[in-house]
Amino acid sequence: MTNRAPRGSKAAKAATSALHTLVEAPEVRAESPTRLAWRKLRRHRLAVSGGAVVLSLYFITIFAEFLAPYSLDYTERSKFLHPPTRIHLLDEDRRPSWPFVYGTLLVDPGLRRYQEDRTERYPLRFFAAGEPYRFAWVIPANIRLFGVEKPGHVFLMGTDQFGRDQFSRILYGGRVSMFIGIYALLLTLPIGVAYGAISGYFGRRVDDVMMRVAEIVMSFPEFYLLLALASVLPPQIPSSQRLMLIILILSFVGWGGLARVIRGMVLVLRELEYVQAAQAAGARVPYLLARHIIPNTASFLIVSASLGVPGAILGESGLSFLGLGIQEPDASWGKLLASANSIQTLTGSPWLLWPGAFIAAAIAGYNLLGDGLRDALDPRSRSGGGFGRSRRRRRA
């Protein structure tokens, strides 16, 4: 908050007044905009914590095979709807001990009540061999972060109605949820930017028609359109194809708003002198757009990207939740949460709500990050946003 900015703008306005001739253009101590934004972002505590959440979610999903005690489709039919396994740190005599779990017995199949069997005791083992998997798709491996010897079992977040370990499935399923947002964005951004830039650059009739079309797409309630589109997916296609189609659908629903904002920005930008000069010098349109106009929308794009990913995550989760997205035996957080969508299962096995917490964490992380980015990249915000600013103020 210096006294430079207001003075500069006043000076322009009152060029006629004599005193202002005293004032030369103030020297600006330049800090590159990127560095400034980065500094502001780092001072934004909420954004930093959001970014940390997002990064850790990517981390755990990328290393799911190692972190999860079981594989995606490991099924223990006798342990269906099993509550989270208790990890004991004290033995029967209340003495501290190496963490261990007890075996469990199904005592009431109707109410799905399990009881610990104190005679069976399995110590937790770290970095032990578990079910085999392929690390990074190729290297065969079987070391897992933790687990217990069979026939013991450790279900950190309980099991689903087939007896699959929910914690492991959340880690694997997170891959779909966390990456689908990014993939969808990789499609939405170019479509939205190109569409908006072309519409805004050519203006007039082209703009009219293109914007009408965009408005039509935007005038559907988003999720209604998503539902209708998802219903079109044939049920029997392989899941990788299905995933791609879902991504396609998500981006089809999402590009309209982006295109409209970009168009507005381009409308302003193309009137700028240097753009006009380039045009007069005979620059070709695609070059003009790519070189002079689109880079100017960068900070907006960064922000809308970080706020667009959670939208796509939400869309996929919603579809999968309703059974229109990912299909068994594959998992995504929305699909996993779907097992809680019946009042009997929900009330009997509330641990099935866990995937919802992961969805919420991912979206919250991205929202916090995006919010901070917006503050940091907004030239109007004078100092760091979030909590950083207040602390410094109050101290003063």
Partner 1 sequence: MSQQQGPLLSVRNLKTYFYTDEGVVKAVDGLTYDLHRGETMGIVGESGSGKSVHALSIMRLIPSPPGKTVDGQILFEGQDLLKLPEEQMRKVRGNRIAMIFQEPMTSLNPVLTVGEQIAEAVMLHQKLDKKAAWDRAAEMLDRVKIPSAKDRVRDYPHQFSGGMRQRVMIAMALSCNPDILLADEPTTALDVTIQAQILDLMRELQRDFGTAIVMITHNLGVVAETCDKVTVMYGGKPMEQTDVRRTFKDPKHPYTWGLLRSVPKLYEREEKLIPIEGQPPSLIDLPSGCPFSARCPFRMDVCTSTELPRIEMDATHQVACFLYTDKATEQEKEAARQAGFLLSTRGM
Partner 2 sequence: MIRYVARRLLQLIPMLLGITLITFVVMQLAPGDFLSEMRMNPVVSPERIEQMRHNFGLDQPKPVQYLRWLGGLLRGDFGYSFAFQIPVLDLIGTRVGNTLLLNVSAFLFAWVIAVPLGIYSALNNYRFGDHALTVGALLGISLPTFFTGLLGLYFAYETKWLPIGGMTSVEYDFMDPFGKMADVAWHLVLPVIILGLGGIAGLMRQMRANMLEVMEQDYVRTARSKGLAGGVVIWKHAVRNAINPLITLFGFALGGLLSGSAILENIIGWPGLGNLLLEAVQKKDLYVVMGSLVIGSIMLVTGNLISDLLLAYVDPRVRYD
Ligand X SMILES: Nc1ncnc2c1ncn2[C@@H]1O[C@H](COP(=O)(O)OP(=O)(O)O)[C@@H](O)[C@H]1O
Tokens of 30: 């330049």
Ranges within 2-31 binding ligand X (CB under 6 A): 3
Query: How far apart are CB 191 and partner 2 at their closest, in Å?
Result: 16
Cβ distance to ligand X smaller for residue 1 or 343: 1
Contacts of 101 (CB under 8 A, 6+ apart): 85, 86, 87, 88, 121, 122, 124, 148, 152, 153, 154
Partner in contact with 4, chosen from partner 1, ligand X, partner 2, none, beta carbon below 5 to 8 Å by kind: partner 1
Cβ distance to partner 2 smaller for residue 326 or 337: 337
Q: What span, in angstroms and rounded, lies between the C-alpha atoms of 148 and 76?
A: 14
Per CB under 8 A, does 30 bind partner 1?
A: no
Tokens of 256: 């309209």
Determine the size of the site formed for partner 1 (CB under 8 A). 27
Residue in 12, 21, 239, 241 binding partner 1, rule: CB under 8 A? 21
Which of 112, 111, 104, 109 minimizes the C-alpha distance to 85? Answer: 104
Query: How far apart are CB 260 and partner 2 at their closest, in Å?
Result: 12
Per CB under 8 A, does 6 bind partner 1?
A: yes
Shortest-Cβ-distance residue relative to ligand X: 3
DSSP letter, residue 291: I
Binding range to partner 2, per CB under 8 A, among 54-62, 72-80, 183-191, 220-228: 220-228
Per CB under 8 A, does 380 bind partner 1?
A: no
Return phi, psi of residue 305, to 5°.
-65, -50
Query: How far apart are CB 26 and partner 1 at their closest, in Å?
Result: 6
Per CB under 8 A, does 381 bind partner 1?
A: no
Residue in 13, 29, 393, 395 binding partner 2, rule: CB under 8 A? 393
Ranges within 4-63 binding partner 2 (CB under 8 A): 46
Cβ distance to partner 2 smaller for residue 72 or 319: 319
Angle at 102 between CA 100 and CA 103, to 5 degrees: 135
Ranges within 310-329 binding partner 2 (CB under 8 A): 310, 314, 317-318, 321-324
Give DSSP secondary structure letters for 221-276: -HHHHHHHHHHHS-TTS-HHHHHHHHHHHHHHHHHHHHHHHHHHHHHHHTTSHHHH
Range list of H helices, the chain: 4-13, 33-43, 45-62, 64-67, 166-202, 204-218, 222-232, 239-269, 273-280, 285-288, 298-321, 333-338, 343-348, 354-377, 386-395
Binding mask 176-215 for partner 2 (x = CB under 8 A): ------------------------------------xx-x
Per CB under 8 A, does 300 bind partner 2?
A: no
Do residues 74 and 65 lie in contact, with contact meaning Cβ atoms separated by under 8 Å?
Answer: no
Q: What span, in angstroms and rounded, lies between the C-alpha atoms of 147 and 106?
A: 21
Residue ranges that bind partner 2, judged by CB under 8 A: 46, 212-213, 215-217, 219-225, 227-232, 234, 310, 314, 317-318, 321-324, 334, 337, 340-341, 343, 346-347, 350, 353, 356-357, 359-361, 363-364, 367-368, 371, 387, 389-390, 393-394
Residue ranges that bind partner 1, judged by CB under 8 A: 1-4, 6-7, 10-11, 13-14, 16-24, 26-27, 383, 389, 392-394, 396
